[in-house]
Amino acid sequence: MNRFSFLGCVLLVMGLGWVSVANALTIFRIGGENLPRPDVSDDVEFVQLSWNEAEEARHGSLELLEASPDYIKPRELDPSVNLTPSLESSGGQILALGWTGWERRLEEDLVFFDEDPSTAYLGDGHFAAHAPPQKHLIFDFGGRFLIQRIRFFP
């Protein structure tokens, strides 16, 4: 036990001897381009970035946010608006299960989403001989959403 205590003390003294003082400081401000530059000392580097200039690899990325020079705000969605017709423009997609896996079939599957509650989808005729007459779909909305309800028309 004494041997391990002595070894621990030696390692502690060696570690304290190698500690050096860091004299440099870099302050990054992302956004707020219209604000005045802060008063910092000469040994402090100040870097101003806009929200759109921020590098994803270093600072992360903006998801579902609207950025302006003065502020960022979350993208607001109207609960009365059907999100499905605008999936592609917002970075999403609809995937259908096919023979080779999940496939994008926009031309065939757009009849699902005509936004007319008086119509019904009766199939597209692409059924295998021994497959059930059903379609499996994935709705990728292009972001993370807290879904309160999903509504399908009859």
pLDDT digits (tens, 9 = 90+) for 73-99: 888 878 777 777 778 888 888 888 877
pLDDT tens, residue by residue, 95-154:
888 778 888 876 666 667 666 777 766 665 555 555 566 778 888 888 887 777 777 655
C-beta atoms surrounding 94 within 10 Å? 19
Q: Mark out the alpha helices in 1-138 (DSSP H runs).
A: 2-17, 56-59, 106-109
Q: Is 149 exposed, middle or buried (0-12, 13-18, 19+ CB in 10 A)?
A: exposed
The C-alpha atoms of residue 108 and residue 139 are separated, in whole angstroms, by: 15
**DSSP character for 84?**
G
Residue 69: per-residue pLDDT: 76
The count of C-alpha atoms lying within 13 angstroms of the C-alpha of 119, restricted to the half-sphere facing its C-beta, is 9
Show me where the domains of the chain are located: 22-74, 84-140
At 144 the pLDDT is 80
Residue 60 Ramachandran class (φ > 0 left, ψ -120 to 50 alpha, else beta): left
Instruction: Quote the longest CA-to-CA distance of the chain.
Output: 85
